[in-house]
């Protein structure tokens, strides 16, 4: 394990969503075992076999669109199990998406004319950057007395990873169980004290997969770009939220507070988009592009994310965007 000493300083953390997708979607012994073990730890379902329905990682799509890098699998009984990492937290929009996605996984099971009794239950396992008074918060359809609906088909499990901080106040690191150790790794990005010197240790398997991921140069490059983009996004959110509100208030004195704040926030959003586009272009083409990008319309900026992986040369992309107006 000496090779992984420097992992804590890597831009790509253990909770990176592209790595998480790689971790649980591969056809390796470690990936297969981790899928089954996580499902068992969270839901108590002992899957004998799991087939991943979406193992592909399209490198162009990952960077070009804000897609959800979930792992959707079907077990030997037909149960659908979907696992994802969500570091953005659980706001109203994400909560609605989780429910919508669970419903869609049901709808997609049937073709026209097929009977509803063919539907198999859907289990969503969401590792989320959130806290609660417990590590696992599970949801299903129940009545006002807490009785589960007959034939319930939707189950949703949130692993509230930040709860590990409260757990650590009650017990030592060496006393953590396997799911707690996994949350510790994802939140703290360190394995000192939680890895166990035994075959098929859950943390050891994650680190072994991280080694493989790190040595996959195209995948590692994209993961770094995604991580950097997220850092920049959060930074600009903070900066321009403040800037937008300040400018909005100033404009609001003249034009009305609501109108002013909306304009200020709109300015902040465009500036943030410009910086993210610069990062994409510089990462793919290694070209300095500030002056050109800053002169583009919002429509053209959005087109860059669509076309950037269709053009191998920066000049071809530039010509295509310039001719889009």
Would you call 85 helix, strand, or coil by DSSP?
A: strand
pLDDT one-digit tens code per residue, 44-99? 999 999 999 999 887 767 765 556 789 999 999 999 999 999 987 777 778 888 99
- Mean model confidence pLDDT for the chain: 83
- Please choose, from the candidates 220, 153, 179, the residue with its C-alpha nearest in 3D space to the C-alpha of residue 39: 179
pLDDT one-digit tens code per residue, 284-306? 777 788 889 888 888 888 888 77
pLDDT one-digit tens code per residue, 127-139? 999 999 999 999 9
Least confident of 61-65, 97-101, 159-163, 277-281: 61-65
């Amino acid at each position: 394990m000496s090779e992984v000493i420097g992992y804590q300083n890597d831009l790509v953390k253990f909770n990176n969503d592209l790595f998480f997708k790689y971790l649980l979607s591969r056809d390796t012994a470690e990936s297969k075992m981790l899928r089954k073990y996580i499902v068992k730890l969270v839901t108590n379902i002992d899957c004998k076999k799991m087939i991943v329905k979406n193992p592909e990682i399209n490198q162009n799509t990952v960077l070009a669109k804000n897609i959800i890098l979930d792992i959707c699998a079907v077990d030997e009984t037909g149960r659908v199990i979907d696992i994802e990492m969500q570091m953005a937290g659980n706001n109203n929009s994400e909560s609605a998406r989780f429910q919508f996605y669970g419903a869609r996984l049901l709808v997609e099971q049937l073709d026209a004319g097929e009977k509803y009794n063919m539907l198999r239950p859907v289990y969503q396992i969401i590792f989320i950057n959130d806290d609660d008074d417990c590590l696992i918060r599970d949801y299903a359809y129940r009545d006002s007395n807490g009785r589960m609906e007959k034939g319930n088909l939707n189950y949703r499990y949130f692993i509230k990873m930040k709860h590990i901080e409260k757990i650590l106040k009650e017990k030592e690191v060496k006393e953590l169980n396997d799911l707690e150790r996994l949350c510790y790794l994802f939140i703290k990005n360190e394995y000192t004290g939680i890895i166990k010197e035994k075959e098929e240790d859950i943390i050891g398997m994650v680190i072994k997969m991280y080694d493989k991921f790190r040595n996959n140069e195209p995948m590692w490059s994209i993961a770094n770009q995604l991580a950097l983009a997220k850092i920049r996004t959060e930074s600009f959110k903070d900066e321009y939220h403040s800037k937008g509100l300040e400018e909005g208030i100033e404009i609001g004195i003249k034009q009305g507070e609501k109108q002013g704040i909306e304009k200020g926030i709109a300015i902040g959003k465009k500036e943030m988009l410009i910086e993210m586009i610069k990062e994409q272009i510089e990462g793919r083409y290694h070209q300095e592009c500030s002056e050109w990008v800053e002169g583009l319309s919002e429509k053209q900026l959005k087109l860059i994310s669509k076309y950037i992986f269709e053009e191998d040369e920066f000049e071809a992309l530039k010509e295509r965007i310039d001719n889009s107006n």
